[in-house]
Structure 1
Amino acid sequence: MFAGVKGNGVLDYVSCWHRKAISHMTANPAIRTAFVSTNSITQGEQVGVLWSELYRLGAKIHFAHRTFQWSSEARGKAAVHCVIIGFALHDGVAKTLFDYETLQGEPHALKVSNINPYLVEGDDNFLTKRRSHFKPSVPAIAFGSMPNDGGHLLLDPEQKKSLVAEERKAEPWLRLILGSEEFINGIERWCLWLNGISPAELRSLPLVKGRLEKVREHRAASPREATQALAATPTLFGEIRQPSGTYLAIPKTSSERRAYIPIGFLPQAIIANTELFTIADAGLFHFGVLTSLMHMAWVRAVCGRLKSDYRYSAGIVYNNFPWPEPDEKQTVAVEKAAQEVLNARSRYPASTFADLYDPLAMPPDLSAAHRSLDKAVDAAYGKKSFASEAERVAFLFKRYESLTSLLSAAAKKKKK
């Protein structure tokens, strides 16, 4: 159905019905079509691939229901997050967007001038996957480090305890390593981080050497030439991107039940794996904006999903996010409110992020700190409040359009 369309491998099967409908509608442009489908076609990388092709063929969205939950009556059947999109090969004057306050609630209709593929009011723009943020001043985001080790550089708490008991000299070379699950749920995992170890010291650690031999064998047996080449350096992770100082960590996957994705600062000594994104040059202001409702509205609108969980990304979510441009007073207000969120968290040292951000268990003082931070971030954008999340996302898309058009104009002028 999408032969020749760049990136078609990311499309869900349901997208084929939309393309099939276009082929029928082309024969009779008076036809209008509406499908109930999974909401995946309005999120993440799929949006640019699917809708740029449908728009190229002349499609325009006339009405849409934003995400709602469709529960089957079958026993044990999981609920599905759906959207309804009505479209045609001609533009409509009156367009209606149906929004839901809760996934199981009733929709309320909004008359809008245009509905874009993310199902918010705005121009028909598609977010492209970017290698870096479109504004150079925004701190860079990176993936964590990849062991590519067959599991032999990684240890659970019992394995770590056993290794240290037999080889005490190995202890300085063991580091905590975190991915999304470990970061959010407080799960303890360890790794051998042997950067800088001397040959003499390594030769005195026979158990560690035994693990390294298995790493070497695992890599040498790989069908990929790049992995085979890594067999020459079994002491090192396959890909090393560990920040050199304190960094901000963002889980790649997080439950959609949470109002906020739990993010936080980690010391350089804790290793981030590829299920954590890292921002090395982030400060309180960046933490405050990224853990605000404004950023979460953007995440919910454009991120991909794993089942229904948020699947954060660098290329689509972070590098396209339209940051505010606050004055000094607004910046200080965000930083102060962000610190209060960190202070509230610190009052519960025995609680994991999963505990703190559970919708039913979230401490009142942490909830209050987040509400204050949300207000400070909204003010940094020059806004006091929004009537709905759809309105908030529409505002962000307009800001994105404004910022990227200015950058495009500056680039053309410079080139000229």
Structure 2
Amino acid sequence: MRENIQKLVDYTATLDGDEKGEAQVFCDRFFQAFGHQGYKEAGAILEFRVKSKKSTNFADLLWDNRVLIEMKKKSSKLQSHRTQIFDYWWKLRPNQPKYSILCNFQEFIIYDFSLQDEPLDRIKIEELSDRYTSFNFMFPKPETPIFRNNLEEATRKTASLVAAVFNSLVERGEDRGRAQKFILQAIFTMFAEDYNLLPKDIFTQILIDCLNGSGNSYDLIYGLFQQMDTRKRARGGRFIEVPYFNGGLFTKPEAIELTEDELDKLHQAATRKWNKVNPAIFGTIFQSSMGKDARHAFGAHFTSELDILKIVQPTLIKPWRKKISKTKTLTEMKALRRELSSYEVLDPACGSGNFLYIAYRELKRIELELLDKIHIEFPKSASEIGTQSIVSIKQFHGIDFNEFAVELAKVTLMLAKEISIKETQEWINTIQTGLPFQMESTLPLDNMDANIVFADALFTEWPRADVIIGNPPYQSKNKMQKEYGIEYLNKVWDAYPNISGNADYCVYWFYKAHLNLDYGGYAGLVGTNTVTQNYSREGSLDYIVKNDGQIFNAISSQPWSGDAVVFVSIVNWKKGKYIGKKHLYVENEKDEQVEFIVDVINSSLSLEIDVTSAKTLKCNKNPKMVFQGQTHGNSGFLLSKKKGMEILLENPNSSNVLKPFLIGRELVASIGSQPNRFVIDFTGRNVIEAATFKNLFEIVKQKVQPEREKKAKEQEDKNQAALEKNKKAKTNRHHINFYNKWWLLSYGREDLLKAISNTERYIVCSRVSSRPIFEFVSSKINPNDALMVFNFEDDYSFGIIQSKAHILWYQEKCSTMKGDPRYTPNTIWDTFPFPQKPNLNKVKKVANAAVELRNKRNELMKKHQFTLRDLYKILEEPGSNPMKILHKRLDDAVLDAYDFDKRKDILTQILELNLEIYSNETKGVPIESPGLPSFITNSDEFKTNDCIQISTSSSAYT
């Protein structure tokens, strides 16, 4: 292998380094050096087309999802081509390669833009045989590459050390606020030391002296921080060359005497290369490691640069590049520079400042692109324009309700400024203008106290901004109440009456962002994917599109890279008309993001027909036919199956209140869909009636009553506190009500029990499922709240509900729970129309197809000891399958009953039927309600008797 790599090195020495004439043969030899026959045999493509709106460019080589290679002529400055290869990589979304390589026949620069903006490594061609491990991803069987500039790894290690010092300070009793301030001052000092803002190694040497017993940490570190806060230079001593920093960070220098272990860890941190610490992720990793053991930094999540760029690129980078490309005259370019200097960016949930850091970095690069264009197209005016930067961190604003995160964000932006100065210097050296570098003033530091503020964004006036970006906090309504308390929720609901109290917490940021945007302004926010659903959508995306907003770039759903284990939607919009095609990214069945270019992005971020206009149908709500199962609310109501059976044998009369209790997981993932527990259900009975079942009543009294009493008392105390502050405050009686009826399930669903009491069986499906599987259940079994109950006994109704038509409507109209679709009756069932004009023959075809499907299903499960989940997993596999044939037969029969055109979109036809029925209801025209059509006089003809029943034998299939 080394010989092959050396052959490449020797061969490259014979080349002239012509970008056009020799790039392809070099790429072929490059692949051969790493064990391939050539690039073509490996599956790579030369001159790969990279399309954009107005043009097509050609990347020199693309190899699947592994690597993108762009060749440049010999001696060209590779760093100056970073923007080009990044643009190629970005336009390859959503199927971007992991690595991107720039090469000029003399040197390689390797990037992983999804991980960091800086190169992972730079390798001279003559070093290749010794440094080939950086290209481990190039082998036919790839291995983990070893890079010298992996900023994530370096950042994690450094954050872990600094967090360990902070944790030690707090654990030994140091004031937390003082410890935080001290650590922030130390962080910036270590950074400043590596960026030559301080005399070389001054802080590191202080730590060494303290470790050696040559000084006291309290005195020396405090002395350094104090000098950094003093405008007058020291007249002598070791701080004589220390300049004035302040900027708010050193307004109050902190003094803490460190232990030997703390000194050692801080010294280890100081000796690390702080130019390899990525400020975009440092704050999050450090903050999430506070209060945790040393290993936590290596497991801490942070928002990846790629995910941040999914907002910053469409809302900031792309609009500015478009403006720059349109400028023709020097006057236009000067005007654009002035506009750039007054451009304001806001993150109203800024955390430790990672969004603001990326936005600032990219706006500075936009400024360099504009300067580059001026210097190239108007060289005679170059000296007039100069190289002075006019973009300031003062144009960036943040709000957060975590006080320490706010301080971290200020430091993050201070670091960003120093890094950008270095990058500007490199740009000037690259273009070799001959003009002096008009350096921004690095010191004193900018005071960011007025820009990054500690406040509740929902109750604070936002500064004006041209673009609003960020990742607001995620909390569902129920978790909000637990986390923030009823008093705070009352305040939120009063302030935002247009938003449903059932909406996700992040919805308020979407609403307020659009409210605060000027016409023509841009916004990009991350939200839970509930912003595309029901109440949350109404308060966010519906509000945006109904009030001059146009969504132009969005990701319907993806797992988030940050701390929260949640699926998110990423939404970029403009207030006002957006000219051009819109880009919507939707996951396919393989969980891969697929890009679709569309004319309009609807508020459900869906490619399908926008079914948000579907109307609620009275015939679906009255009589009520769909119910959520019972919520027991306390495990004291539950007994094992064995215990339940024993009680029933001893006292058969207990069957009136002791019921098998079926949950969603058991329905789909247990043999025979057998309930494993019984529930003590006194629903509909008062305490005296419940007490007649003595043994069961005593069980509930011992296990349930004490806990409910405790929770009720806690809630009474909270309510009292809220009323003392605000006499009109809404109070929560959730647990108080439960205690007042402690012998009853939390939600016994009396209406459900009454409905199914008149039937032999009912239909259920798991409430949370990507593809719902429907089954009949005996009315002697109680359904848990993880099940949706459809109170129909007939096979025709089962056929309609199990069909593709209903499932497609479900998938489009459902809400989601951590990425999984959830059946919500008010949006799905209440709007789903049943066939309106089926004849008897069509009704029989649907019923017969439904029976045939269930019979085959039961036969296969019994024969192979499969669960429903086992059976339907196989259904997803390619190839012939008797279940596929039977599902297709049922789907065809149902579409025929609807009289739908199979060549047309099913959802469109369901929506049209929904609107037709709604119109007929308002006019008093007769319609067909869900269930058997009204002309059927003998419903028993359409009822079989198969259903899930409790089994008392060793086999579930009896």
TM-score normalized by the length of structure 2: 0.36
- Residues 42 and 58 from structure 1, CA distance in 2 versus in 1: closer, same or farther, beyond 3 angstroms? same
Equivalent residue, structure 1, for 2:832:
321
Tell me how far apart the structure 2 counterparts of residues 307 and 399 of structure 1 sit (CA, whole Å): 32
Among 375, 378, 388, the alignment partner of 2:892 is 375
1:414 is matched with none
- Paired with 2:522 and 2:596, the residues of 1 have a C-alpha distance of 20
Confirm whether residue 89 of structure 1 aligns to residue 575 of structure 2: yes
With over 3 angstroms needed to count, the CA separation of the structure-2 counterparts of 1:292 and 1:50, relative to structure 1, is same
Q: Which amino acid aligns with 2:533?
A: Q
Structure (1/2) with the larger strand percentage: 1
Secondary structure of the 1:316 match is coil
After TM superposition, the structure 1 = structure 2 runs for residues 104-253 of structure 1, keeping only pairs within 5 Å, are 104-105=591-592, 107=594, 109=596, 111=598, 115-117=602-604, 119-120=606-607, 125=612, 133-135=618-620, 140-147=625-632, 150-160=634-644, 163=647, 167=650, 172=655, 174-185=658-669, 186=673, 187-193=675-681, 207-214=695-702, 215=704, 223=712, 224=733, 225-231=736-742, 238-240=748-750, 241-242=752-753, 243-244=756-757, 245-253=759-767
1:12 corresponds in structure 2 to 504
- How far is 1:306 from its partner? 1.4
Counterpart among 895, 904, 907 of residue 393 in structure 1: 907
Moved more, 81-90 or 326-335: 81-90
Partners of 2:507 and 2:539 within 8 A in 1: no
CA deviation digits over 1:317-355, x for unaligned, max 9?
211223332421333222222112211222023432222
| CA contact 1:195–1:236 (8 Å) conserved in 2 | no
Which residue of 1 is the match for residue 589 of structure 2?
102
Counterpart code for 1:332: K
* Secondary structure of 2:857's aligned partner: helix
Q: How far did 1:163 drift? A: 4.6
SS at match of 2:643: helix
The CA distance in 2 between the partners of 1:13 and 1:213, in whole Å, is 37
Matched residue count: 393
Distance in 2 separating the partners of 1:114 and 1:10: 24
Tell me the residue number matched to 1:283. Answer: 794
The answer to whether the Cα contact below 8 Å between 1:114 and 1:122 also exists between their aligned partners in 2 is no
Corresponding residue number in structure 2 for 1:272: 783
Q: Give the match for residue 298 of structure 2.
A: none
Identity over aligned pairs, percent: 19
User: What amino acid is aligned across from residue 246 of structure 1 in structure 2?
Assistant: E
Q: Is the 8 A contact 1:179 1:251 kept in 2?
A: no
Aligned with residue 296 of structure 1, among 789, 802, 807: 807
Tell me the amino acid that sits aligned with residue 677 of structure 2.
Answer: R
Q: Kindly indicate whether structure 1 or structure 2 has the higher relative contact order, using CA contacts under 8 Å at least 6 residues apart.
A: 1
Q: 2:667 is paired with a residue of what secondary structure?
A: helix
The alpha carbon displacement at 1:230 in A equals: 2.2
Letter in 1 for 2:789: T
SS in 2 for 1:254: coil
Q: CA 1:266 to 1:409, structure 2 compared with 1: closer, same or farther past 3 Å?
A: same
Aligned-partner residue type, residue 604 of structure 2: P
Q: Distance in 1 between matches of 2:540 and 2:566?
A: 21
What letter is aligned with 2:511? R
C-alpha spacing 1:104/1:309, structure 2 compared with 1 (3 Å):
closer
On the 8 A contact 1:94/1:111 being kept in 2, the answer is no
Distance 2:613 2:783 in 1: 31
Q: Which runs of 5+ in 1 are unaligned?
A: 412-416
Of residues 339-348 and 272-281 in structure 1, the stretch that sits farther from structure 2 once superposed is 272-281
SS of residue paired to 2:540: helix
CA distance in 1, matches of 2:553, 2:690: 65
Instruction: After superposition, give the CA deviation of every residue in 1:261-284 in whole Å (9 maximum; x if it has no partner).
Output: 011111111112333222223522
Change (3 A) 1:119 1:91: farther
CA shift, 1:111, in A, is 4.6
8 Å CA contact 2:764–2:776 kept in 1: the answer is no
Q: Report what 1:355 is aligned to.
A: 870
1:211 Cα shift?
Answer: 1.0
Is the Cα contact below 8 Å between 1:142 and 1:279 reproduced in 2?
yes
Do 1:134 and 1:404's aligned partners in 2 also have CA atoms closer than 8 Å?
Answer: no
Change (3 A) 1:338 1:38: same
Structure 1 partner of 2:883: 366
| Partner Cα separation in structure 2 for residue 344 and residue 161 of structure 1 | 31
Structure 2: gaps (5+ residues): 1-457, 459-491, 713-732, 926-958
Deviates more, 1:370-379 or 1:264-273: 370-379
Alpha-carbon distance in structure 1 between the residues aligned to 2:566 and 2:744: 44
What CA deviation, in whole Å up to 9, does each residue of 1:267-306 have, x standing for no partner? 1111123332222235222211221222222222221111
- How far did residue 254 of structure 1 move? 3.0
Please list the CA deviations of residues 39-73 of structure 1 after superposition, one character each: whole Å capped at 9, or x if unmatched.
32112432223234324533244565544x4686x
What CA distance in whole angstroms lies between the structure 1 residues aligned with 2:683 and 2:504? 42
Q: 2:857 aligns to what?
A: 345
2:372 alignment counterpart: none
- When residues 11 and 36 of structure 1 are mapped into structure 2, their CA distance, relative to the original with a 3 A threshold, is same
Shift of 1:396: 3.3
Q: 1:407 aligns with which of 917, 921, 927?
A: 921
| TM-score normalised by the chain length of structure 1 | 0.75
Deviation at 1:307, TM superposition (A): 0.9
Question: Which secondary structure does the structure 2 equivalent of 1:315 belong to?
Answer: coil
When residues 182 and 124 of structure 1 are mapped into structure 2, their CA distance, relative to the original with a 3 A threshold, is: closer
**Residue 851 of structure 2: SS of its match in structure 1?**
helix
Residue pair 1:133, 1:318 contacting (<8 A) in 2 also: no
User: Which SS does the other structure have where 1:152 is aligned?
Assistant: helix
- TM-superposed CA distance for 1:153, in Å, is 3.0
Deviation at 1:108, TM superposition (A): 5.7
Amino acid at match of 1:141: V
Counterpart Cα distance in 1 of 2:566 and 2:903: 28
Q: 1:43 is matched with which residue?
A: 533
| Structure 2 CA distance for partners of 1:367 and 1:117, relative to 1, 3 Å | same
Deviations 1:64-96 (A, max 9, x none): 5544x4686x9xx99975555453334568665
The 1:50/1:175 distance shift into structure 2, 3 A limit, reads same
Contact 2:768–2:817 (Cα < 8 Å) also in 1: no
Indicate conservation of the 8 Å contact 2:667/2:766, yes or no.
no
Query: Would the alpha carbon gap of residues 48 and 402 (structure 1) be closer, same or farther in structure 2, given more than 3 Å must change?
Result: farther
> Matched residue of 1:354: which SS?
helix
Does the 8 A contact of 1:64 with 1:119 survive in 2? no
Q: Take 2:565 and 2:910, find their aligned partners in 1: how far apart are those partners?
A: 29
- Write out per-residue CA displacement over residues 182-236 of structure 1, whole angstroms, 9 at most, x where no aligned residue: 3222341112356899x9x9999764342143355555666255334424x6699
Cα pair distance change 1:295/1:96, threshold 3 Å: farther
Aligned with 1:305 (options 816, 840, 857): 816
Q: Give me the CA root mean square deviation.
A: 4.2
Structure with greater proportional helix content: 2
Amino acid aligned to 1:340 = E
Distance change >3 Å, CA 364–CA 154, structure 1 → 2: same
Aligned in 2, Cα 1:378/1:4: closer, same or farther, shift over 3 Å? same
CA displacement at 1:140 relative to structure 2? 1.7
